[in-house]
Amino acid sequence: MYVYGKNQVTELLRSSPQKVEKIFIARKTHLPSELLKLLESINSPFIHVEKEKLDRLVGNDRHQGIIAVIREIEFVAPVDLVRFTLEKRGVLLVSHHIKDPQNLGNMIRSAEALGVTGVIIPAMKATGFTDTVTKSSSGAIFNIGMGVVKNINNFLREIKAQGIWIYVLERGGRCLYEAVYNFPMALIAGAEDEGVGESVKKIADEIVSIPMVGKVNSLNVASSTAIALSWIMHVKEER
C-alpha cells in the first residue's frame, strides 16, 4: 500500500514511522524541512528514482514527488473493540456501505482525532482499504482500531444486548444538538445515496440529524460524521 504527497507522508512519519517499509523520492524534488528531518530520523530506506516511476506506482502524477510504501493494515477483532468501548464508556463509529474511499479515509481521520474507540466497517457492499483510504486518513488508520464484520445488523444487535446504545446519523431524525446521548454508544453513518437501511434504523435507539438552513439539504458523509462526532464527544466530556 502507498501513502503519497508531502503532507500525507509527513503525517505518516510523525504518527506511525514503524509502518513504513521504504520511501521513493523523485529526483530534484524539493521537500519541506520538517519532512527532511523526519526522513533522517527513521530507519526505513529512501530511494531516489525518476518521476515517471512514481507516476506508474500510483497511477497518477499527484504524488508531489514522494511515496511511502507501508505495511498492511492490522485489524482488531470486533469483540476487542466492543470490550474497549464498554470499558471506556466511549463512542464506536460504524461505517454503513460507504463506497467512496476518500469519504471513508476522512471519516477515519475524524474518528481518530476526536477520540473514538474504534471504527467498524462491513466486509461487503463497501469500499475496501485502498491506497486512497490510507492517504485520506493521513495516517490515522494506523492509530485507531479498525474492525471488519460480515453482517452489520447482527453486530449491532449483539452490541446493543451488551449495553451499547445505537445512534444513527440520518436525515429526518431528532436534532443532533437536542438528542440525549447515553454512553457507551455506537454512531452509524451511511452513504449519501443510500443512507442507512431501514433494518438498521429499527435496531437504533435514536436517529439524529444535523439541522441545516442552506439551500443544499445534505452534507458529504465525511463532513456530517465529523460534525456529529465533534458534538457527541463534547457532550461526553461535559459529563
pLDDT of residue 115: 95
pLDDT > 70 fraction of the chain, expressed in percent and rounded: 93
- Same CATH fold assignment for domains 2-70 and 78-238: no
pLDDT > 90 fraction of the chain, expressed in percent and rounded: 56
The domain ranges of the chain are 2-70, 78-238
Looking at the DSSP bridge assignments, the partners of residue 92 are: 118, 186
pLDDT of residue 223: 93
Distance CA 146, CA 120 (A): 6
Residues 133-187: pLDDT tens digits?
Answer: 777 776 777 788 999 898 999 999 999 999 999 999 998 899 999 999 999 999 9
* Spatial strand order in the sheet of 66-70: 2-4, 66-70, 20-26, 46-49
Residue with cell 473514538: 116
pLDDT of residue 126: 56
pLDDT of residue 128: 57
* Spatial strand order in the sheet of 146-149: 146-149, 118-122, 91-96, 185-190, 165-175, 206-209
pLDDT at 90 over 80: yes
Q: Which fold has domain 78-238?
A: Alpha/beta knot (3.40.1280)
C-alpha cell at 139: 495516517
Mean model confidence pLDDT for the chain: 88
Residues 4-39: pLDDT tens digits?
Answer: 899 989 988 888 788 888 999 999 999 999 999 999
Residues 175-194: pLDDT tens digits?
Answer: 999 999 999 999 999 876 67
pLDDT of residue 202: 94
> pTM score, two decimals?
0.76
pLDDT of residue 73: 74
Q: Which of 170, 178, 123, 165 is nearest to 147 (CA)?
A: 123
pLDDT of residue 62: 87
Residue with cell 491506497: 131
| Those residues with Cβ within 8 angstroms of residue 52's Cβ, 6 or more apart along the chain or in another chain | none
Asked whether the beta carbons of 105 and 133 are under 8 A apart, the reply is yes
Residues 118-135: pLDDT tens digits?
Answer: 999 988 655 556 667 777
Which has more confidence, 58 or 111? 111
| CATH 3.30.70.20 is right for the domain spanning 2-70 | no
Which has more confidence, 190 or 114? 114
